[in-house]
Amino acid sequence: MVRDFHHFKGNELTRSEQIQRAVVELLLNTNSITWELKHSSGCCQIGRILAQKRKLDVEIAEIACILHDICVIVEGKYEEHARRGAETAKRMLEESGDFNGDEIQLITEAIAHHSEKQIRTGKPYIELVKDADVFDCSLYENAQGFYVLHKPKDVYDEYVKRIKIVRKELGLGQNEVFREGK
């Protein structure tokens, strides 16, 4: 059966769509609306693509990705935002009443550890969120400067390594890492 698409209006949203809409509504109150909207949406889409590639659950992946910087969206700061964001996400998911304990665990541990790009955990959703995060950032014009200027060299190198692996996985050229601007 062909169903019409709601375009995120009305009350017919799935549990994942309700979380996605809640994130958009929260980020409209930040002083960084454009970035938070673009980055959360970008990560969400990349998470869906990587989940399909890796034969993971697309819904868990998209929710973990859309929520990964929820602490920044709610509080406007980056200090310990991964660990603290996981707590915020846990509350949101529990309050929705739509997710079981295992699902909440998968999503929140991916959020809690997403900043540890230099660590490879072997846990698929944690690595997926890290990869979606760095790959999304690599696609903006001239984003490289931020990482060169604000991250320690070893962390920057890990970002580059991860971006290259994702680019290979997606069949993209290996000569480019961060997109250059015009």
Residues making contact with Fe ion (CB under 5 A): 69, 133
Nearer to Fe ion (CB atom), residue 16 or residue 136: 136
How does DSSP assign 109-159, residue by residue?
Answer: HHHHTTT-TT---S-HHHHHHHHHHHHHHHTSTTTHHHHHHHS-HHHHHHH
Nearer to Fe ion (CB atom), residue 69 or residue 127: 69
Nearer to Fe ion (CB atom), residue 16 or residue 40: 40
Which residues are CB-contacts of 40 (< 8 A; sequence separation ≥ 6)? 23, 24, 27, 65, 66, 68, 69, 73
Minimum CB separation of residue 155 from Fe ion in Å reads: 13
Instruction: Check: CB of residue 56 under 8 Å from CB of residue 128.
Output: yes
Minimum CB separation of residue 77 from Fe ion in Å reads: 11
Q: How far apart are CA 179 and CA 126, in angstroms?
A: 24
Minimum CB separation of residue 99 from Fe ion in Å reads: 21
Minimum CB separation of residue 4 from Fe ion in Å reads: 33
Nearer to Fe ion (CB atom), residue 56 or residue 114: 114
- Please provide residue 140's backbone torsions phi and psi, each rounded to the nearest 5 degrees: -85, 145
